[in-house]
Structure 1
């Protein structure tokens, strides 16, 4: 007997989505992704299906087409309201139509409406997008295919409402997923890792610069698919020139050549050693219900490491938020032993019990606090969710970007890429995602190291081009550079030279008072066929920059976004893809059945991970279903309604509210706070009793450790075993601190990124003591602990 689950048709058959195929082509550090969705209508009436799904917040959708039988329809990009009206008209006329649109509130959510699919008919939807690959701490390039869509929290007072998301266990999803990738680079492809099992990497050439990989058989479609791609000598600056579209008019974005500059700053050791000892460090922690379990435990451990690593003399505060927010101090306090211990005591008691995800309120409060003179503000945001007002949040961060830097962290599957990337981009900081077996501590501590780096100032990019060739920047001005982190700059090259064939670009900046200059030459002729990927990414960069302007509602800005979007074929919040089969020989008559597509998740929690799903209702007007559906999915489209649709909307909302007593958690500031026991969350972040954290918890704010029984226990020794080898002339705290450093280097070298900063503080404390017998202490410590750590390794 076949077990049916999720949403069923009137004939007890699964809903129409049958399979998803994804093909990825990675070229150096950008990717082109082609997804094909296969639908089949097994009912005796025409249906309308709606599929809501996530993409990376940096993705640029650049192609959309549909194939019904032997007929292929390629979608056009049009102004959003115009596209919606055409879709309405097509369905009213009985024509087959497809509408793809980006959410106006958050650019990482798209909705696909498959309208008027005839009985017994099949359809294949092809969706193509381009995206940049993020750089991980170990140098790998991260590609993520989001198949997880968490319900987005809708703050009180915002338009639209959230709706209970329907999901089914992963093992019972009635559609399949296939995934393959091809990788090419000027440098050798060293390896490709994934959070899924992969078939062996296949090299396609002798130089190993081209490779292919795909998912192994038997995978479960239950989480985001991640690839980590490693190249030999990947961190090299480069310039890639791409030819324009032959059919496009010269002088236009798509008709001219486009250029992509990748910048990898490498600062000298002397400059990097001058880490700042000042700053106001503000930590903003998500304590909504979905953070329960291992996530909140890991977050508490991370805050422990952060607080122990802060330099003496800085200022700090810790905020936490859910439906409401809290802060440890009324205002940021100077970092000392007293304030650190008070903060750690409160952190230890923190639980994921603050309800929803109201991030705007604490951000407003933080920005309302006056900045401390000579203490640059550094904001760290840790969250596992998403909100329905992403653009409002990132606009607030941008408005205050001159007074702080923002470092953001997305925790677990389904964290909003638009929110995480947007916070870091607008806040001139850095974004990281913590998924699978990743340790939160390592990634957050890497960003703290960025925050402690001297601020790069006076950044300029100067192009030296032949006479007759001019450059127009598509990227906003570069404002942030971090050691070893890549920055991409896009530009348009107009005109051509009859003589010279080479150009150059120079990046200037200053760091800690020292001027730096990096010059790179490049040929103006395209080096390879990149399939307009750089043009599309450049267009997306320009569109996002225009959309994030404070005058976003300005008609001129909107018109320019629409013009760039239509010209490049790249999606925006003001446009949509519309495809209509006008060659259909017979009009579809009668009411449409509305069907939605079930996704992956846990059916027992409103916080559970879900892939592109909304609840299903039987509706009786050609377009009413999709219209109501999108309004209810956390303000995903903001589509206008007429009087009849409003009446149907109200009835549906009453039915929705009655169906779920937990649904109000997503749109009520006064929602009940749930403890971790009340809301189970399937977190993939693992935490175990940690000897590293046990030792770290004993360090004083000044950087030293005290010689006491707690230290002995952390080193797995008795008090007598620890005290006996101490040289007579050496202070107990000096001896204890050297023991701790030897243990860290001897037993936890693989986690150095987590303790490097607090160890640096300990070394500074030791050097300030002018203590005798340091060499003797290091030798005795090695003997006691069974290590072989050199004095120079410790930095002494």
Structure 2
């Protein structure tokens, strides 16, 4: 695997990569991405250039070609070891060769080797992949072009491999020192109108290509710097509609084969019965696993390098989550870095005392736990027995990347029957393979929080999903015309959420002369009530799809088979590995066991002596880390970290401070380092201040802090209570509800759940004078909130 030191190379070797051009073709929910990389050898000897780069975790590479001068060679997919041998043989005979392969540990990191590039020669590399677009909390579809290769943390005691057989390393440098340019453009088309296209980077104005606004183009504005991932958000009108797209097979492929038959992609948006969704579940075991590695001390908006840090935002988010949990549930909070710890020895019941104890420890949380080792805390969590009638919901927050991504995903999948996993990638460079993979294998939902995004709205949406009753007994049945059969390429659906998309790929074999319509039925049980959704679709293939769906279907099948192969410990039971290579080679889609190889059959002379190797720096964001006051014993941790760095195992330079060597697994958050830090300042956000005052029951009480948040004195708050028979706690709760509805409606998604809890508490009190309380609260606060809006 890649060992990224995070430092500029001491030799300051020249970079042969001169420019990258990216073209994205978005069709509804999927995208085809074509990248062109321009190389130039300005040295006096032949070189071998190695470029290690990230791709989205669900990207399926399907084309790789190279052009030197006027000669172009198209790569073929081969078994990985054969491809490496062919590459080495080509180099030794003086031929130009190109090798593209996936990391052994993480499916979203690739190594491109450009071999035997002669002095003064230029090469153009063309790389194409297909990917699904993730649905965001605001219903937009997200495409991300990773521009940052963050350090991957290698667990202690593990062996470091490499992307290309033990030889590839990458140096990451500040974005301002990267000498190659980036151009980016996107074309968007869909069956429905395009509402808007947005980005975290500066874009040229959108250009619509037709009157219906179903086609558009957009480009990255000139002068883009490598200071962030390039994110594009596409919004369609009436986006949450189930649909099916049928893609014709390849005319040159054999009928009956995956590439020769049509492939259908189903976009399913289940609509649950209102009766089953009328109330959220009021139980569950909620476990929050928080990244406390050194890089969590970075600013949320790293392009500016200032503002709220990731760990600050995480603390605020935990406050919001804890206040929004239902009465009657259980919870615990873990922190992890090079080690891990937890607030309580085991999950505790939700009460005023447990919440108060937890929030005291949350306030002490800091980015002080070293690297990013997530596997061990997950093993500990999964080893804990579940609680009767309390379904486990796991929330994972991390900004980092790990080398053992596949091991983590395998662990989550093995335990998927006992929990749902909701994962959050914080900041640019968070591994999409890790974040989306954990949610997918854990039957949950993933979110990415970057730039100026607020973490809270996305996290609260996921909490809402976790409070939905679990959908069980899911089955998908097909009703197709006689003569047409179906082979599902996607793994079985294991989770469904109201309003969230599920993509299913299937191969259609045979023909029918009678009917041109098919039907798919999704059956499931929700809150003990059997339900179903149906989708009728045309079997007629759409035009000009370019085999995108075939390749995504092949990639889905390959990833499912790879996990099956790992579950058997690599024993290859039933010829799974051979099946993976067969599908990979047939479809031209990369896998863990294959690689792309291209050899230019020129009359080259045998190379005398070794080729010069040039590892091309990947861009990284410039980060400054400030060490807190060093507690006793911290120097020992620093020495240990330096030793790890020298041995290539510590790749996050920002983690060097306070990577203490003591075992923290059985300790609480309140360690010696906690005691040396200054307490975190009180929340300055009035809404978070108000939320922090809410009791576990859902109510508020009169006090000076509440009055300050409301902009009043304690006397004003107390004296305006409408009647003596109205309890002070009831009055305080009304004031809090009116203030939230009157001044913070734009943040409703953040406080909606805790308000529901407050309303339930008021109803349980059978509070009198409801209308008078609402009117008095409106008068005091200057609002016009109607009683019906409160849900009373």
1:694 paired residue among 680, 689, 704: 689
- Determine whether 1:414 maps to 2:429: yes
Task: Give SS of 1:545's match.
Answer: helix
- Determine whether 1:670 maps to 2:675: no
- Determine whether 1:759 maps to 2:752: no
Aligned residues: 734
TM, length-normalised to structure 2 = 0.89
1:433 paired residue among 448, 457, 467: 448
Structure 2 distance, partners of 1:66, 1:278, is 57
Name the residue aligned to 1:610: none
Name the residue aligned to 2:580: 561
> Alpha-carbon deviation of 1:171?
2.8
> Alpha-carbon deviation of 1:219?
1.9
1:600 paired residue among 619, 627, 631: 619
- Determine whether 1:237 maps to 2:242: yes
Q: Tell which deviates more after alignment, 496-505 or 435-444.
A: 496-505
Name the residue aligned to 2:339: 324
Contact 2:19 2:39 in 1 (8 A): yes
Q: Tell which deviates more after alignment, 235-244 or 85-94.
A: 85-94
Name the residue aligned to 1:455: 470
Deviation string, structure 1 residues 184-204 (Cα, Å, up to 9, x no partner)? 000001100000111110000
Structure 2 distance, partners of 1:338, 1:412, is 33
Name the residue aligned to 1:363: 378
> Alpha-carbon deviation of 1:777?
0.6
Name the residue aligned to 1:36: 36
Deviation string, structure 1 residues 549-598 (Cα, Å, up to 9, x no partner)? 21251331111111110000001111100011112454544431111212
Contact 2:170 2:618 in 1 (8 A): no
Name the residue aligned to 1:157: 157
- Determine whether 1:287 maps to 2:304: no
User: Where in structure 2 are the equivalents of 1:407-556 lying within 5 Å?
Assistant: 407-549=422-564, 550-551=567-568, 553-555=570-572, 556=575
Q: Tell which deviates more after alignment, 441-450 or 516-525.
A: 516-525
Are residues 661 and 467 of structure 1, via their aligned partners in 2, closer, same or farther at CA, if it must alter by over 3 Å?
closer
Task: Give SS of 1:233's match.
Answer: coil
Contact 1:8 1:15 in 2 (8 A): no
> Alpha-carbon deviation of 1:720?
1.1
Are residues 136 and 604 of structure 1, via their aligned partners in 2, closer, same or farther at CA, if it must alter by over 3 Å?
closer
Contact 2:703 2:714 in 1 (8 A): yes
Contact 1:407 1:424 in 2 (8 A): yes
Structure 2 distance, partners of 1:719, 1:606, is 42
Structure 2 distance, partners of 1:473, 1:660, is 41
Q: Any stretches of 5+ residues in structure 1 without a counterpart? A: 608-652, 679-686
Are residues 265 and 517 of structure 1, via their aligned partners in 2, closer, same or farther at CA, if it must alter by over 3 Å?
same
Task: Give SS of 2:473's match.
Answer: strand
> Alpha-carbon deviation of 1:6?
5.7
- Determine whether 1:80 maps to 2:80: yes
Contact 1:154 1:667 in 2 (8 A): no
Name the residue aligned to 1:22: 22
Q: Tell which deviates more after alignment, 216-225 or 240-249.
A: 216-225
Are residues 164 and 524 of structure 1, via their aligned partners in 2, closer, same or farther at CA, if it must alter by over 3 Å?
closer
Deviation string, structure 1 residues 625-649 (Cα, Å, up to 9, x no partner)? xxxxxxxxxxxxxxxxxxxxxxxxx
- Determine whether 1:264 maps to 2:269: yes
TM, length-normalised to structure 1 = 0.89
Q: Any stretches of 5+ residues in structure 2 without a counterpart? A: 1-6, 163-167, 299-308, 627-643, 665-669, 674-681
Deviation string, structure 1 residues 289-328 (Cα, Å, up to 9, x no partner)? 1111511011011110111011111111101111111111
1:791 paired residue among 773, 787, 791: 787
User: Where in structure 2 are the equivalents of 1:108-187 lying within 5 Å?
Assistant: 108-160=108-160, 166-187=171-192
Structure 2 distance, partners of 1:662, 1:141, is 34
Are residues 672 and 151 of structure 1, via their aligned partners in 2, closer, same or farther at CA, if it must alter by over 3 Å?
farther
Are residues 164 and 345 of structure 1, via their aligned partners in 2, closer, same or farther at CA, if it must alter by over 3 Å?
farther
Task: Give SS of 1:472's match.
Answer: strand
Name the residue aligned to 2:198: 193
Structure 2 distance, partners of 1:271, 1:658, is 50
Structure 1 distance, partners of 2:41, 2:186, is 30
Structure 1 distance, partners of 2:333, 2:616, is 41
Structure 2 distance, partners of 1:327, 1:502, is 55
